[in-house]
Amino acid sequence: MAVVLRRRAAAAIGVIAMAIASVSCAGKPVAEADDRPIVLLISIDGFRHDYIDRHGAPTLTRLAERGALSAGLIPTFPSKTFPNHLAIVTGLRPVHHGVVSNDFYDRRRGESYTMRDRDAVCDGTWYGGEPVWVTAKRAGLGTAAFYWVGTEADIGGVRPDEWRLYDKSVLGPERVDTVLGWLGRNASERPRLVTLYFSLVDDVGHRYGPDAAETGEAVRVVDGWLERLVTGVEDLGLADRVNYVIVSDHGMRFSEPADIFRLPALEAEHHAYTTGAYVAYWFLQPQAAGPGCDRLAAAEPPARVLRGAGLVAAFGGDNPDRLPDCMVLAHPGRLVIAATQDKPYRSRGTHGYWPTDPQMHGLFLASGPHVQAQGLIPAFENVHVNPFILGLLGLAPNGPTDADSAVLAPLLRGDTD
């Protein structure tokens, strides 16, 4: 039976043969006096907080035993990929860093941002706040990114020293070996902060659902990539310097594609962005917003219609240029779709629901020589990761923040500069 499941997962994932390879390309050990901390910030997209126990992940388990694992990493609203990756690195909620959804409309610019538009993604003027790599680089630390939302853009005129245009076809082992190559450089060229991103668990979770055997196989494949990374760091002689901060942007909830509610058509000009968990509406004529949102509410969808003060409260603040006029947020596990959406919704796993839903909670794991071992710690909001990463590097946040550095301060061992 196990062999059958592996073959099914291999067909779905398409990368198993290369992914489980364990030979490291790290090179020879580094011999030098430099003992300053290095931080590897790793995102496993869509990795729900309970996947380690549910599906098995031996490398993550070993790292957690030597460090700290949270009962859940609570996403910001909405629980989508782009807003939360930026919340983690800026310490700001989406209403403040500006990327309020994967796709949204900006009234002042008269333009839309969508995660599939490379020109928009690479345009630093869409992003607010200061990501950790910008803070680190301005402090004179070397930085490198093998993918992370925002690393392709010049935010505040700054990009990481090394970065890559996102290419989903680049497999996990190549990403890991590139990072190991960066770490294998001499002290003057080696980055002190590196980001690394994997989408596989999210991709498979969407297609098959969070409890599926295929999702479990994806979890173990990514865990194998992490084993390759940890082994490579050890081979380089950097185990006493490298700290792992492993996160996810959100969790995943089972959804039934047949159980979808199509919202009514609207006559007024508008932008509507569908995610399955919610539909957000921006009306091009302000006077059309009230009647349009009323019509959506009158359809009695299996959802909450957020507008006005309720919408501002959900986001934790106001952003008149970018917040939608209203959002139709489905009840957990239900699905909604805009009338203009003609592409079928086939996902058996969905996120974007209210962040208080435990199934939306992601992963936080910290382990390394400068991390105080704490075992299992309570769930916390993901904006608090930003000052923790900077603390590991001996830096302080710059500018406004929604984060509280005290939340994760007990995990800092000290002597990090």
- Cα separation, 271 vs 287, in Å, equals 15
**Environment class of residue 177 by beta-carbon count within 10 Å: exposed (0-12), middle (13-18) or buried (19+)?**
middle
Q: Does 76 participate in catalysis according to the annotation?
A: no
Q: What are phi and psi of 399, to 5 degrees?
A: 80, -175
Q: Give the largest CA-CA distance in the chain.
A: 69
Euclidean distance between CA atoms 79 and 101, whole angstroms: 9
Of 186, 131, 183, nearest in space to 162 by CA:
183
Which alpha helices (DSSP H) does 129-212 contain, by range? 132-138, 172-183, 200-208
**Catalytic choice (81, 178, 195, 231):** 81
* Alpha carbons 287 and 342: distance in angstroms, whole number: 27
Instruction: Give the chain's length.
Output: 417
Question: What is the spatial distance between Cα 260 and Cα 258, in angstroms, rounded to a whole number?
Answer: 6
Q: Check whether the bond before 83 is cis (ω within 30° of 0).
A: no
Helix (H, G, I), strand (E, B) or coil at 295: helix
Distance of CA 50 to the CA centre of its chain: 16
d(CA 402, CA 98): 13
Measure the CA–CA gap between 166 and 173, rounded to whole angstroms.
Answer: 16
295 Cβ neighbours under 8 A, 6+ residues apart: 264, 266
Answer yes or no: are the C-beta atoms of 143 and 131 closer than 8 Å: no
- C-beta separation of 153 from 165 below 8 A: no
Half-sphere exposure of 189 (CA within 13 A, CB side): 9
How many CA atoms does the CB half-sphere of 281 hold within 13 Å? 36
Question: For residue 148, what is the DSSP state?
Answer: -
| Angle between helices 385-392 and 81-90 in degrees, nearest 10 | 50
Whether 85 contacts 149, CB under 8 Å:
yes
Active site residues: 81
